A and B are shown apart, each in its own frame.
Chain A
Amino acid sequence: MSGNMRRKTLTALSRDAVAWIIGLVWIVPFLGVFMASIRPLSEIIHGWWRFESFTPTLRNFIGAWNHPAAPLSEGMVNSLKVAIPGTIVPLFVAAIAAYGFARFRFPMKTYLFLTIVMLMTIPQQMIAVPIFRIMKNLGLVDTPFGLVLVHSAWGIPWILFFMRNFFSTLPIEVEEAARVDGASDFRVFFQIVLPMCVPALVSSAVLQFMWVWNDFFLALILIYSPEKLLATQRIPLLRGMYHIDWGVLTAGTIIVMLAPILVFAFLQRYYVKGMVGWVSK
């Protein structure tokens, strides 16, 4: 009996050890980035894990923030200008359409819904060339508004799918009672349904915000004036001319990651729910 017990504790202990090693493997690259960002390059050039001398400094962060070629201060503002409307617009547009798919009856509904869902699998490369021409014709190339439009359209299929599934789980009785009392579809949606689905809306908003903030490809195609570049576009420009300036580059990556990390820290529950929710029921 006691031998069995000992074996069990041993298994539990080795499991803990394996778990912590995994955690270590995943944190080490971030730790490296952090160390490189707060120390002068001369100190880390033979490995950031050496601590013969250790002089923490914020110079790299200031350097990335005010970088002469690609200041991140400008990039962060530009990114927010795209990410905030690029989250709100598709959320609103997709949510009302999702409600329609969940509650109204009309011919070809299933096929229309299936078609929209299938749009989720299309790679961005598939729209790249025409979207550039369309935006050029509309005079919206190289403007945040043009990029917001593309992100809005691109986000609709998955938000619509996610929200429709959520609306289908809501009890229909409350809505019907309101209709009997003479409320219009719009009133039912805005006054009764929307307040009930705040958690689902937050989950969608968190995922969509991350997606737009982290996007690189669409921005790369549509925004090219140096002063208009988004934060993600400026990262490759922080490398330096002759040798890689790791201090400024790693500080820059940390600055750009601030937004997703903050969102994740405060809204982790919603993020995971959104992630798991739309791929598995």
Chain B
Amino acid sequence: MRERLLRPIFFVPALVLLAAFVVYPVVNTVWLSFLSPNGDFVGLDNYAEVLSQPEMVDPRGFQRGFPYGALIHNFLWLIIHLPLTVLLGLALAVVLRGVRGGSVIKSVVFLGMVTPMIVGGIILRFMFDGSIGIVPGIVRLLGGTPHTLTAYPETALLSLILGSLWLWVPFGMVLYSAGLETIPSEVYEAAMIDGASPLSMFFRITFPLLKPITEVVVTMTFLWDLKIFDVVYAATMGGPGGASNVLALQMYFYAFREFNSNSAAVVACVLMLLTTLVAAPMMIRSAREAR
């Protein structure tokens, strides 16, 4: 019986750390997002105020081009980066399976995964540099005029979005590779006997059986795209003129450049609302399965 009374000790250190350094700060940030800078409770006014700032949403962008504001930029990041990550991750996993030297190539691709994202940002800046970078180098080879692509408002964000495929597609590839290994080869053999073409085998067998993996890849990529920070910080610092600004970076600017904790808290809460909405189904399901 005395033994049972000691059991809470298993949980105390973890719960104390979580309460002090995760839960309390989160609650505090939500609270801050409802306060004005001089401490009055203003409810959702801050949200209306911050979301109408040009650095968050800039409607003028639709006439003159970039910048469109951090929120729209994150949205662009999602609609371009997410489908390409899923597609390329799956394609790489399928192509590299059973190829001579496939595991070596996988290790090389995977190197992008263990790269610190701050280094990833520097490497993207390097790849897109007008004089030294490989991408403008290829442009020159094709007869175009090479520019530092991250230094122009029209191309800065798109270069980072496409460049970040190089950093994040490996994640999709690793998960899909692991998923492919769980599909028994008998399934394909049976389909082959029935005369199925490789293409129909892919769409009727491989893709449906990988659905749980696809859900994970989509969710994690969603989160990655929403939280993107280091890459932009290192490559462009959100510039030029805010043309590649994103939510997490704008939150940092509000909090630690303008010392406006309340606006920063609003951006953080918007981010959390989006990430929680996206991730909740997957998290709850996997926690249930684990029960």
Separation of A134 and B32 alpha carbons in the complex (Å): 14
What's the minimum C-beta distance from B215 to chain A, rounded to whole angstroms?
Answer: 9
Provide the A89-129 mask, 1 if CB < 8 A to any CB of B, else 0. Answer: 01001101101100010100010011011111111111111
- A80 at the binding interface (Cβ < 8 Å): no
What's the minimum C-beta distance from A266 to chain B, rounded to whole angstroms?
Answer: 12
Q: In the complex, are the beta carbons of B21 and A149 less than 8 A apart?
A: yes
Q: Which of A117-163 contact B (CB under 8 A)?
A: 117-131, 134, 149-150, 152-154, 156-157, 160-161
Which B residues are CB-close (under 8 A) to A117? 283, 286-287
Q: In the complex, are the beta carbons of B175 and A131 less than 8 A apart?
A: no
- A180 at the binding interface (Cβ < 8 Å): no
- The B interface, classified by DSSP as helix, strand, loop or mixed, is helix
- B52 at the binding interface (Cβ < 8 Å): no
- The A interface, classified by DSSP as helix, strand, loop or mixed, is helix
Which A residues are CB-close (under 8 A) to B137? 47, 49
| One of A19-27, A52-60, A61-69, A195-203 contacting the partner | A19-27
- B1 at the binding interface (Cβ < 8 Å): no
Q: Which of B217-260 contact A (CB under 8 A)?
A: 220, 223, 226-227, 229-230, 233-234, 247-248, 251-252, 255-256
Q: Which of B150-183 contact A (CB under 8 A)?
A: 166, 170-171, 174-175, 178-179
Give the contacting residue for B6; candidates A120, A164, A185, A253; CB below 8 A.
Answer: A185
Give the contacting residue for B22; candidates A93, A110, A127; CB below 8 A.
Answer: A127
- A178 at the binding interface (Cβ < 8 Å): no
Q: Known: A114-B284, A123-B226. Is A26-B111 also a contact (CB below 8 A)? A: yes
Provide the A184-208 mask, 1 if CB < 8 A to any CB of B, else 0. Answer: 1110010000000000000000000
Which B residues are CB-close (under 8 A) to A48? 132, 134
- Interface size on B (CB < 8 Å)? 95
Separation of A122 and B17 alpha carbons in the complex (Å): 16
Q: In the complex, are the beta carbons of B268 and A125 less than 8 A apart?
A: yes
Q: In the complex, are the beta carbons of A16 and B99 less than 8 A apart?
A: yes
Q: In the complex, are the beta carbons of B10 and A15 less than 8 A apart?
A: no
Provide the A3-43 mask, 1 if CB < 8 A to any CB of B, else 0. Answer: 00000000000011011101101111110110010000000
Separation of A36 and B126 alpha carbons in the complex (Å): 10
- A sample of 4 more A-B contacts (CB under 8 A), given A15-B95, A213-B116, A253-B119, is A29-B134, A126-B29, A160-B14, A280-B179
Give 30 A-B contacts (CB < 8 Å), ordered by A residue. A20-B105, A22-B95, A22-B105, A26-B108, A29-B126, A29-B134, A30-B111, A97-B11, A100-B7, A116-B18, A118-B276, A123-B227, A125-B229, A126-B29, A127-B26, A129-B25, A129-B264, A129-B265, A134-B24, A156-B14, A185-B7, A214-B114, A217-B230, A217-B248, A250-B126, A253-B123, A272-B110, A272-B174, A280-B212, A280-B213
